[in-house]
Amino acid sequence: MSETIPQFDRIDLTLLALLQTEGRLTNAELAERVNLSASACLRRVQRLEREGVISGYGARLDPKRIGLGLEAFVRLQLEHRDRAQVERFAELVQSWDDVVSCYALTGDMDYLLHIAVADLDHFSRFLLDHLLREGIVANVNSSVVLRAVKAGRALPLTAARG
């Protein structure tokens, strides 16, 4: 059961690009940038929201400026991959504020976690008090971020051009 992907024209793609990089533009500013009336622009943005193409809005924060001086990526394998353990792990991940994102993977590891914490001591406490405490993780491999060369921001829209 595959999900239908909406068709986008040049204006839709321009709107999406602008909203990804300049999300605080007013509707009037957005309309001017794409050469539409304010009402036509608003209708398009509302349609993109209704269709789930735009899934939300938010501010990007600088981790260091809010006391999160260490980021890490943790790859892990579960002890068992039965439904109950996978569901339990998913519940736990949702409750851990230090986890910025979590992805189920193919290959030799089951999950990739992006962690943001204050420092190495905080990271160690996260590993010991949360990740390893539950007894469902068999293998952990961590990499501390030295610097972000390119941090995920805007999604590429070239494939959406069809």
Per-residue pLDDT of 9-40, as tens digits, reads: 999 999 999 999 999 999 999 999 999 999 99
Please report, to the nearest 10 degrees, the dihedral formed by the alpha carbons of residues 29, 34, 38, 43 taken in order.
-120
The pair of three-digit structure tokens given for residue 33, joined into one six-digit string? 């940038």
pLDDT classification of 4: cutoffs 50, 70, 90: confident
> In 10 A of CB 50, how many CB atoms?
9
- If you count DSSP H runs as helices and E runs as strands, how many of each does the chain have, helices first? 5, 4
Q: Rounded to whole angstroms, how far apart are CA atoms 58 and 96?
A: 20
What pLDDT, in 10s, does the model give residues 83-104?
999 999 999 999 999 999 999 9
| Architecture (CATH level 2) of domain 68-144 | 2-Layer Sandwich (3.30)
Domain boundaries, the chain: 10-59, 68-144
Class of the domain covering 10-59: mainly alpha
Q: What is the pLDDT of residue 125?
A: 97
- For the stretch 115-135, pLDDT in tens is 999 999 999 999 999 999 989
- Is the pLDDT reported for residue 65 higher than 90? yes
* pTM of the full structure: 0.85
What pLDDT does residue 162 have? 54
Amino acid code (one letter) for 150: K
